[in-house]
Structure 1
Amino acid sequence: MSNPKKILIKAEKAMSSGHFSKAIEHLDELLLAHPEEQKYLMMRGEAHLRSENYESGLIDFAKVVEADSKNIRALVNFAVALIRCNKQNDAKDILEYVLELDPESYDAHINLCNVYQTLGKSEESLKLSIKAIQIKPDSVVAFNNLGTAFADLNMVSEAREALIIANQIDPSYIPTVINLAQIQVKLENYAEGARLYEEALLRKNISPNEAALVKYYLGYAYLHQGELGKGWDYYENGFGSLLPVAALRSKRKFQQPQWQGEPIGDKTLLIWREQGLGDEIEFATCLHDVSLMGINVILECEPRLIDIFNRTFPAFTVRAESIGPDFFPAAHDFDVQCAIGSLPRIFRREMASFTQPATPLALRDSSLQTYKERLSGYSSKKLVGICWRSGLFSMARNFNYTALLDWKELLVQQDFQFVNLQYGDCENELLEIEAALGIQILRWPDLDLKKDLENVLALIKNLDAVVTVGTAVSSLAGSCDVPTYLLAKPGWMMLGQTDRYPWYSCVTPLLAAKGEHLAEKIPHIPELIRKLG
Structure 2
Amino acid sequence: KALELKPDLAEAHNNLGLAFQEQGLPDQAASCYRKATAFSPNAPEPFNNLGNLLTNEGKADKALPFFLKAVKLRPDYPEAWNNMGVACQNLNRLGHAITCYGKALDLNPGFVDARNNLGIAYQHLGETNHALDCFRKALALEPENPDAHFHLSLLLLLQGKMTEGWKEYEWRQLRDEWKNAHPWSDTAPGWDGTSFHGQTLLIRSEQGLGDTIQFVRYLPLVKDLGGKIIFEIPESLLNLFRNIPGAENLIPLTPPESSLPHHDLSVALMSIPGLLGTTLETVPDLVPYIFPDPRKTASWKRRMKHKGMGVGLVWAGNPGNHDDRNRSCDLRHFLSLAGIPGVQFYGLQKGTAADQANELPHGMMMENLGKHLRDFSDTCAVIENLDLVISVDTAVVHLAGAMGKPVWVLLPYAPDWRWLLEREDSPWYPTMRLFRQLEPGNWGELFRRVTHQLQSVSAEIHRVAHRKEGKRCNE
> Smaller-chain TM-score range?
0.7 to 0.9
* Conserved? CA contact 1:216–1:235, under 8 Å: yes
User: How far apart are the structure 2 equivalents of 1:463 and 1:183?
Assistant: 38
Residue 315 of structure 1: how far off its partner (Å): 5.3
Show the counterpart of 1:350.
279
Q: 1:238 aligned to 2:172?
A: yes
Letter in 2 for 1:212: P
Residue 135 of structure 1: how far off its partner (Å): 2.9
Please give the residue correspondences for 1:509-528 in structure 2 after superposition, counting only pairs within 5 Å: 509-515=434-440, 517-522=442-447, 523-527=451-455
User: How far apart are the structure 2 equivalents of 1:248 and 1:283?
Assistant: 22
Q: CA RMSD in A?
A: 3.1
The match for 1:470 among 367, 384, 393 is 393
* Conserved? CA contact 1:80–1:91, under 8 Å: no
The match for 1:97 among 32, 39, 43 is 32
| Aligned length in residues | 453
1:111-151 CA distance string (max 9 Å, x none):
34333333322223323222222332210111111111101
| Partner secondary structure for residue 310 of structure 1 | coil
Please give the residue correspondences for 1:148-297 in structure 2 after superposition, counting only pairs within 5 Å: 148-203=86-141, 206=142, 208=144, 211-243=145-177, 250-297=182-229
Letter in 2 for 1:443: N
Residue 527 of structure 1: how far off its partner (Å): 3.8
Q: 1:304 aligned to 2:236?
A: yes
Residues 307 and 260 (structure 1), Cα distance of their counterparts in 2 relative to 1, 3 Å cut: same
Residues 195 and 110 (structure 1), Cα distance of their counterparts in 2 relative to 1, 3 Å cut: same
User: How far apart are the structure 2 equivalents of 1:230 and 1:316?
Assistant: 32
1:209-258 CA distance string (max 9 Å, x none):
xx111101111111111111111111111133454x7x976333432222
* Conserved? CA contact 1:147–1:162, under 8 Å: yes
Residues 460 and 76 (structure 1), Cα distance of their counterparts in 2 relative to 1, 3 Å cut: same
* Conserved? CA contact 2:231–2:249, under 8 Å: yes
Show the counterpart of 1:25.
none
* Conserved? CA contact 2:292–2:380, under 8 Å: yes
TM-score (norm 1): 0.77
| Partner secondary structure for residue 331 of structure 1 | coil
* Conserved? CA contact 2:318–2:324, under 8 Å: no
User: How far apart are the structure 2 equivalents of 1:321 and 1:529?
Assistant: 42
* Conserved? CA contact 1:286–1:358, under 8 Å: no
Letter in 1 for 2:192: Q
Please give the residue correspondences for 1:32-431 in structure 2 after superposition, counting only pairs within 5 Å: 76=14, 80=18, 87=23, 89-90=24-25, 93-103=28-38, 104=41, 105-203=43-141, 206=142, 208=144, 211-243=145-177, 250-313=182-245, 316-325=248-257, 330-331=259-260, 333-347=262-276, 349-357=278-286, 360-375=289-304, 377-378=305-306, 380-390=307-317, 392=319, 397-425=324-352, 429-431=356-358
Residues 165 and 460 (structure 1), Cα distance of their counterparts in 2 relative to 1, 3 Å cut: same
User: How far apart are the structure 2 equivalents of 1:66 and 1:343?
Assistant: 55
Residues 67 and 508 (structure 1), Cα distance of their counterparts in 2 relative to 1, 3 Å cut: farther
| Partner secondary structure for residue 239 of structure 1 | helix
Percent identity between the aligned chains? 22
| Partner secondary structure for residue 197 of structure 2 | coil
TM-score (norm 2): 0.86
Report 1 or 2 for greater relative contact order, CA contacts < 8 Å, sequence distance ≥ 6.
2
Residues 145 and 525 (structure 1), Cα distance of their counterparts in 2 relative to 1, 3 Å cut: same
Gaps of 5+ in 1: 1-37, 39-63
* Conserved? CA contact 1:372–1:462, under 8 Å: yes
Residues 71 and 458 (structure 1), Cα distance of their counterparts in 2 relative to 1, 3 Å cut: farther
Letter in 1 for 2:389: V
